[in-house]
Homo-oligomer: A and B are copies of this chain.
Amino acid sequence: MPADTATLLLDRAQTLIQTRGYNAFSYKDLAAAVGIRTASIHYHFPAKADLGLALMARYHAALEDALAEIDHRGRSQLARLKAFIGLYRDTEARGAVCLCGSLASDRETLPAPLQAAIADYLTRSERWVAARLAEGVRAGEFAVAGRSADAAASLVAGLQGGLILARAHGAGAHGAGAQGTGARGTGAHVVDRVQRSFLALLHSA
């Protein structure tokens, strides 16, 4: 669909980073994936750091869109939180990890603006979850066992880590196809498990 080469480059680069890591993907890989020469990539993104930055900007924008979408539908706070978790479930289904999680591992080798972008993304997620929790409690929709702020941080951490666990075992994805057997390896559906534990935290009290 994206006849736009720059967009295609971002798409492929994101996939490569999420599967191979920022430092392990090369312009050669990316060029091959897109069907142009490595030098042409520099036309669109002067340096690798520019590509990374553009990628995080787009990723963050997509998060904002998704959160706005969820909030706009204006359902219960619980439903919103479930929808948020659903975003991670989709990522898990694609056998991917969060772009942030992947970049965070190579943190020290990344340019400062990129490091900041990663932190922003995670902070934004955490704040949004915390706000949903606070609102849900205020409206008497549910009670949170323990502190809301702890639960928010814990959920985001659990989701990020969940993606790592899911891909670490299972994973597989031998380049296969779109079928997706569903249950691959022992650690399938980690995000579901995280969701259930998180929800168990809410109804009590």
A75 to chain B: which residues have CB within 8 Å?
A: none
Question: Distance in Å from the Cβ of A160 to the closest Cβ of chain B?
Answer: 4
Copies in the complex: 2
A154 and B193 contacting across the interface, CB-CB below 8 Å: yes
A107 to chain B: which residues have CB within 8 Å?
A: 19-20, 167-168, 171
B164 and A157 contacting across the interface, CB-CB below 8 Å: yes
A197 and B151 contacting across the interface, CB-CB below 8 Å: yes
A153 to chain B: which residues have CB within 8 Å?
A: 162, 165, 187, 190, 193-194, 197
Flag whether A147 is at the interface (Cβ < 8 A): yes
Assembly CA distance A154 to B45 (angstroms): 39
Flag whether A138 is at the interface (Cβ < 8 A): no
Flag whether A5 is at the interface (Cβ < 8 A): no
**Contact pick for A122, options B159, B169, B193, CB 8 Å:** B169
B204 and A145 contacting across the interface, CB-CB below 8 Å: yes
Assembly CA distance A156 to B190 (angstroms): 10
Chain A residues within 8 Å of B, Cβ to Cβ: 19-24, 97, 100-102, 104-109, 115, 118-119, 122-123, 126, 145-147, 149-151, 153-154, 156-162, 164-165, 167-169, 171, 185-187, 190, 193-194, 196-201, 203-205
The 4 A-B pairs of least Cβ separation, nearest first, read A161-B161, A146-B200, A160-B161, A157-B161
